[in-house]
Chains A and B, each alone.
Chain A
Amino acid sequence: MSAQPGSPCADFRAAIIARAEGDVVDLALDAHLERCAVCRRELVRTEQRIELLRKIPGPGAPIALDGLVVAAMQAGERQQRATRAVQSLSRAHTPEDLARRLAGPKAPHVLERLVREDLADPAKALASRYAGSLGRLRAPHDLDQRLRELRPGSVQRHMPVALVTAGVMLALGALIVAGILNGPRNSALSTTPAGPILIVERVDSVRDLDPLVGQILSGVMGGLPDAQRIVGEGF
């Protein structure tokens, strides 16, 4: 096996890298190294490279994780404190008519029913809501006429119910949209009624993501994130 001048022998490249990464017993490599100066130099070079790479500081924990850890650690204690505080409250006599006096305006029965129906079948509810929010076009006159001929009076009879239902659906839709707009930076993606729901958290820095992402990103961006990190950390 002979190498091109200055190049290590191709058959032993992988073995040289493995040896440079740690003590690997490889008798064939040992025998080869004894008679191949190029590969001996390559081994030294590879060991130096690996040593340099090992000096690179590992990626730090994402900043967001610090907050999550602290919050998680304190969560149990907060809960215990709150429980103790509640238990230490002296029990006071509750006037019998308190519930009646505190009772505010009740939701209309129709709203309760609609909410119950929505919860019973969320997929259907969302589908109805999206359909209800579509722009409405006037039907061609002849189609309207055919419908009247087919089901005399039916269109007019159901019109008020349809209008009320559409109004309620639109109001519910508007409430949901307002909730999303006023909500935190995280948001739920639910573009179709059924299936998994994604809770999206936007992060400002790739360093807050898994190191694998940074590696691929460096690959597609010619190494830019790595260069920035190497220079930025003053290595």
Chain B
Amino acid sequence: MTRTRFAGRALLARLSITLKIPLAITLALAVGACDGRSPVGAQSRGESLSVEQASSPSFLALVPDAPERVPHSGLRRVEVHVEVDGQPTSLVYLERVTADGHGHYAIELVQVQQPSMTQQQLEIFEELQRARQGFFFKYRDLRIRDLELFLQNYSVEVLPAMPIVAGVECVEIDVHPRVPRGAQYRMAIDARTGLVLRSVERNQFGQVTASSTFEEFSNQPGPGPVEFFIERFPGIPLAGASLPPGLVPVAPQILPEGYREASSDLLQVGGDHYVRRVYGDGLENLFFLQRREPASSSPSGQTSESATHRVRLAQVGAWRVAELLETRGSLFVLAKVAEAEVLEFLRSSL
């Protein structure tokens, strides 16, 4: 039965090469309609398909809200490989992900495989990871965040191989940025739900810089009790927030090519107030934070037209980080874009 289904799909894939784009939708719908389960190791053979904006497969539309919408749980292997402070550094760990399909979720560290940690180091790391569940869920994990914007900024190639990830047959896509910024992405997506079950990011040299792979997966939130994450410092949408004295939100006027503002909110952490603006290109995020300094003598955000500002800039892997510390308020930018774009973005906020 399974073999027949795969043979049919392989034939369909070959046919679709001939008919190209018009059949892309059909193929995707066919993939989305199947039950998605088959023995590990089964693969179809064929050629890849390029997907254009007008004919994006339907399963892509499921991806943006899938982690919140689809009940699931599983064991996931996360890898990050970058140079930190000039040293090649790797972090590899297993984590358990649980989501109830109604917006509640939890990400729990299970085991750190690399680097080697003592029990005490592990406990500290575990606490830090626990505190970051929300950030991981929203921003770390690779997924399409805005389909329209994503298709404007990236070209998608549906690969003929249909890998099995944690027992789930997936559609695999290669994602190429239309504005070359060095990174390439490959995602294996459960076409029925839109969940990304495997993602790999490579740098301009083809080296893997980050990956995330489900090793076990279930469509249930989990058999045991789950302590879902509670956001301790939820932001208030900036539009309706009453601003603390001395904080005048600034907004960058020149965005990196392809980026658009996704959210802006006001946060209070301890005694500090922050304006957090998140921008996106449909896949990647750019973070802009404005902090009101306690010693602020004049409202933050008020700067003279021709002032000179000192910016400190660092690069960690593909991330460029800029900070502009001033007594009237500090600005921070983190983005995977060119240095000139980061600086122009920051400058346009002054």
Contact = CB atoms under 8 A, between A and B. Distances in A.
Interface of A: 4-8, 10, 13-14, 17, 49, 52-53, 55-56, 189, 191, 194-210, 212-213, 216-228, 230-231, 235
Residues of B contacting A: mostly: mixed
Interface stretch (B64-72, B120-128, B163-171, B236-244): B120-128
B347 A189 contact: yes
Contact of A201 (B85, B311, B316): B311
Given A196-B305, A206-B321, A223-B129, 10 more contacts: A189-B347, A198-B346, A199-B311, A213-B314, A217-B316, A224-B82, A224-B89, A228-B85, A230-B117, A235-B124
Interface of B: 78, 80, 82, 84-87, 89, 91, 93, 112, 115-117, 120-121, 123-125, 127-129, 132, 135-136, 139-140, 210, 224-227, 230, 232, 285, 287, 289, 291, 303, 305-314, 316-317, 319, 321, 323-325, 330, 332, 334, 340, 343-344, 346-347, 350
Contacts of B313: 200-203
A223 B291 CA distance: 23
Contacts of A206: 84-85, 314, 316, 321
A210 B309 contact: no
Given A206-B84, A224-B84, A213 B332 contact: yes
B325 A221 contact: no
B16 to A, nearest CB: 36
Contact of A196 (B91, B307, B321): B307
B227 A7 contact: yes
Contacts of A7: 225-227
Contacts of A200: 311, 313, 343
Contacts of B89: 224, 228
Contacts of B128: 53, 218, 223, 226
Nearest to A53: B127
Contacts of B78: 222
Contacts of B344: 189, 191
B332 A196 contact: no
Given A212-B289, A227-B91, A199 B125 contact: no
